[in-house]
A = this chain, B = another copy of it.
Amino acid sequence: MGPGEAASPTDCEIAEHLGELIARQGWVTLTGGRPTGVMDAALRGASRTGGLTIGVLPSDTSAAASEWASLRIVTGMGEARNIVNVLTSQILFVCGMNAGTASEVAFALKIGRHTILLNAGPGSLQFWPALGEKFFHAASSPEEAIGIARDILDRQAQQ
């Protein structure tokens, strides 16, 4: 998850590298599916590495999807699709921060989905933990984020 048109080059680099690492784990990469920003970069990284990719689109056609989304879920529900993204994901990786991304982090913490932030800025690190400390994580690199995710999945598998 992360900004679309407003994503910084660094957000996109991190997202693309994360997509590669997610695919190497054998995990499925799911994003908001539009052909821009973090959504597009993560799908590109995962797809080029041979991973399965899903784009969950806000529009009512699949025309405006990232070319790297091998499966396209067409919701026709606008921003409500952000909720589908969060509910469907086992773990959220978040690169960068803007208002749309914040709605996904908020919803993830509300329903108790583990959320790992990268490149989100100091404001995020102070604001979000108070809303759901147990499920909030921060990583300084894609590799660290994958490590945190593996630990979470290992713990869940033991329960």
Contact = CB atoms under 8 A, between A and B. Distances in A.
B84 A131 contact: no
Interface string A15-40: 00000000000001000000000000
A97 interface: yes
Contacts of A138: none
A58 to B, nearest CB: 9
Interface residues of A, number: 41
A97 B109 CA distance: 13
B75 A76 contact: no
Interface string A86-120: 01100000000111101101110111000000000
Interface in A53-98: 54, 56, 60-62, 71-80, 83-84, 87-88, 97-98
Contacts of A73: 54, 56, 73, 84, 88
Copies of this subunit: 4
B80 A76 contact: yes
Contacts of A52: 71
A112 to B, nearest CB: 9
Interface stretch (A42-50, A122-130, A139-147, A149-157): A122-130
Given A76-B87, A87-B60, A126-B123, A131 B110 contact: no
B100 A110 contact: yes
Contacts of A75: 75, 83-84, 87
Contact of A103 (B97, B98, B103): B103
A105 B110 CA distance: 14
